[in-house]
Structure 1
Amino acid sequence: MTTGVNIAKLANVFRGRWMMIVHELTEIYKPAISRNREKLMEVMKEKAEAATKSELAKTMRGLKGFYTLEMAPPRLSEMEKLKADLQLMKDFFKNKCFLHITVKQAWLLFLVGLEVFLWFFLGETIGKGHIVGYKV
């Protein structure tokens, strides 16, 4: 028991001395640290200016417009168009128009439906973080 207490006291002594040494070193090297900080800030500003003028930055600014357009929630006019499309689909099945489409048209409709399903599945997989099952 006494060895555990002695080790704890020794650790406190070393910790106190270590903190004193670190404090002395920071006081000694404070001017050098502040000079280096100023140089670092200047270099960072130069690199940031060069990055904003690069071709990649110009491309990213152009792509931002597409991203904001595609990722925006649907507008009211788009919702009305969706309603009209759903009504058109109901009429298509109600009037049995699907019996009159060609094999090529059916194949394209199947591929589009498959693509929608696979993107949904991929989004679910990314969202849950696993291929199989949810973490509960």
Structure 2
Amino acid sequence: MAFVGRMAVRMSNGVSRTSNYMGKKWPIVKKYAVVELAPPTPAEVGKAFGEFASLIGKAKKGGWKDLTVFQATLNTVVMFEVILWFFVGECIGKRSYVGYPVKVPNAVHKEISYT
């Protein structure tokens, strides 16, 4: 019984400390969330397309040869991260590692329930 009492006190202290900490930090979190999670404006979309077109132009002219080894390594790591999250998102979306469920008449396999 003493263990349960100690755990209740620790949980109560943890909740109160967390609420005090978040009470102080919430305005900062909210300020950055409003800016970072806002959808892009049409002007920002146009600017992004322009930057992308200039990057394509640089790549065609051999601008990739001017990268340092460190920059090229970082670009490669970012590319693999984007690919990884694409595949993870696909697996989450289809709720399976293998493939999408296909309904075939007279199939040998059972129907899978996703509940």
Taking structure 2 as the reference length, the TM-score comes to 0.55
Matched AA of 1:83: F
Q: 2:54 aligns with which of 46, 65, 88?
A: 88
Gaps of 5+ in 2: 1-15, 103-115
Gaps of 5+ in 1: 1-50
Matched AA of 2:54: L
**Structure with more contact order per residue of length (Cα contacts < 8 Å, sep ≥ 6):** 2
- Output the aligned Cα RMSD: 2.6
Alignment partner of 1:123 is 2:54: no
Matched residues in 1 for 2:74 and 2:92: separation? 27
Tell me the number of residue pairs that the alignment of Structure 1 and Structure 2 aligns.
Answer: 84
Q: Which has the larger radius of gyration?
A: 1
Distance change (3 Å), C-alpha of 1:125 and 1:57: same
* Larger relative helix fraction: 1
Greater than 3 Å deviation, 4+ residue runs: 54-73
Alignment partner of 1:79 is 2:45: yes
Matched residues in 2 for 1:67 and 1:131: separation? 33
Distance change (3 Å), C-alpha of 1:126 and 1:68: farther
Partner of 1:110: 76
Alignment partner of 1:135 is 2:101: yes
Taking structure 1 as the reference length, the TM-score comes to 0.48
Matched AA of 1:55: N
Distance change (3 Å), C-alpha of 1:69 and 1:97: same
Identical-pair percentage: 36
